[in-house]
Amino acid sequence: MLVYLRLLKESFSFAINALRNNKLRTFLSLLGVTVGIFSIIAVLAAVDSLDKTIQGQLSSLDGNTMYLTNISFGPTDVPRWQRETFDEVSYNEYKTLESALTDVDHVALQLFVRRENIRYESELVSSVNTVVVSHEFIDIQVMEFEKGRFYNESESNSGRPVVVIGSEIAKSLFGDLDPIGKKVRLYGQKFTVIGVVKKQGSGIFGDSNDVSIFIPANYVRNRYGDNNPFMKFVVIIKPEKDADIEGVKAEITQIMRTKRGLKPDEIDTFFINLLSGLQNLIDTIIGSLNLIGWVISGFSLLVGGFGIANIMFVSVKERTNLIGIQKSLGAKNKFILFQFLFEAVILAVVGGLVGLFLVWVGTIIGSNLVEDFEFVLSPENMALGFFISSVIGLISGVIPALRASRLDPVEAIRTGM
């Protein structure tokens, strides 16, 4: 055992000395691996950071939350021309579902509308994300408040002109003033500010609550009616914690088919979209991004591997005479093999470590430059980068090392003279 440890130590020392004596060549060799490892780990770190941010934003919602509308959030077998004939979900259908559904905690109505301008005295914020929802929305999507509250059932049902605003909207309109009770102008009418949502940060799926305003759905319905082509109705359904999800979906389907008078041979003219389905779609996209990153970065690693192999062949050629002398003095094939193999692995590992360092620096710079988005370099990705660089060095160096170990000592000395 001690003999093998000594052999490894001496082989390692020879490899280090060889790399020190050829600094420029060593630098050029590890550059390819550095770029390859940097590319792969940078892509994986970026995708992991994106995934972490998305999952963090989805964590406030129950994965079993359902969105009933006439469009599908994911792939569907229904042709596009047929989907375009589906009627919008109506307010009456929302009220029917609210009263008839069992095993559900909350049913809310949301209207997707265009952006609006909001003004307070001389201050104006243009093109604000306007979230038009019924009062149950606060029980489905958890929101924290800096000040005030969300509108209640009475305010929601009557369509009272009250508004809840995001922290950035409050800052832009009121500065250091207390927004609660202030009158803002929206839709050409005065709205009373009753709440300010706590700062959330940037949103992955569009605007975050910070730059949004919330108003009762019935206010917009009373003003524009239910058949406005610029509004889209969505019913949000949150099942009970231990409810049978398929059973709830079947109940929704039965109520909607009865309400719309669909015949048994007719397809559903609506879609029940689960938030968990959206999460699965996101996971698929994240997986695809990772795969694309591997494919693209793999070419960089391939070039780096070829670079190391080429340098190792040159190194064997230059040291043929030395190899012959070592073997004539009793050096075994294993010693020569490990000597060149360690040289290749050390090259690749050093290049990989430099690549990981650059990714780490990049994550720090990226996190400081991009507000409310944290780039992370996980220990798993660091270990993966180290492992890949080691494997690249091992594969790139094995053939040159075998060739060096099999040289005939007499021929090697003669060739090197």
List the single range of 79-88, 214-223, 282-291 with lowest mean pLDDT.
282-291
Report d(CA 387, CA 405) in Å as an integer. Answer: 25
* 29-48 average pLDDT score: 75
Query: In this structure, what token pair is assigned to residue 113?
Result: 């509308």
* 97-116 average pLDDT score: 89
Report d(CA 36, CA 299) in Å as an integer. Answer: 8
The pLDDT, as a whole number, for residue 19 is 61
Selected residue with higher pLDDT from 67 and 405: 67
The pLDDT, as a whole number, for residue 276 is 62
Confidence class for position 154, pLDDT limits 50, 70, 90? very high
Domains of the chain, by residue range, sit at 2-58+281-416, 87-269
* 133-140 average pLDDT score: 91
By the 8 A CB rule, do 393 and 347 touch?
yes
Report d(CA 86, CA 81) in Å as an integer. Answer: 10
Name the average pLDDT for the chain: 79
Q: Which residues contact 253 (CB under 8 A, 6 or more apart)?
A: 268, 272
Residue 317 has pLDDT above 80, yes or no: no
Q: If you average pLDDT over each of 50-54, 138-142, 285-289, which comes out highest?
A: 138-142
Residue 30 has pLDDT above 90, yes or no: no
DSSP state of 211: G
List the single range of 166-170, 220-224, 227-231, 278-282 with lowest mean pLDDT.
278-282
Residue 3 has pLDDT above 90, yes or no: no
The pLDDT, as a whole number, for residue 390 is 80
Confidence class for position 217, pLDDT limits 50, 70, 90? very high
Pairing of strands 162-165, 189-197: parallel
Confidence class for position 331, pLDDT limits 50, 70, 90? low
For the whole model, what pTM was predicted?
A: 0.63
The pLDDT, as a whole number, for residue 285 is 72
Selected residue with higher pLDDT from 325 and 10: 325
Residue 206 has pLDDT above 60, yes or no: no
Confidence class for position 306, pLDDT limits 50, 70, 90? confident
The pLDDT, as a whole number, for residue 118 is 92
How many CA within 13 A on the CB side of residue 378?
13
Residues in the chain, overall count: 417
pLDDT tens figures, 8-27: 566 566 556 666 666 676 67
Beta bridge pairs of residue 124: 119
The pLDDT, as a whole number, for residue 149 is 92
Selected residue with higher pLDDT from 163 and 378: 163
How many CA within 13 A on the CB side of residue 267?
13
The pLDDT, as a whole number, for residue 135 is 92
Query: CA nearest 108: which of 47, 153, 164?
Result: 153
Q: Which residues contact 128 (CB under 8 A, 6 or more apart)?
A: 115, 116, 117, 118, 169, 211, 212, 213
Report d(CA 109, CA 211) in Å as an integer. Answer: 21
pLDDT tens figures, 225-248: 888 878 889 999 988 888 888 888
The pLDDT, as a whole number, for residue 341 is 76
The structure tokens 């003279």 sit at 417
Report d(CA 235, CA 257) in Å as an integer. Answer: 15
* 381-401 average pLDDT score: 79
Report d(CA 363, CA 47) in Å as an integer. Answer: 12
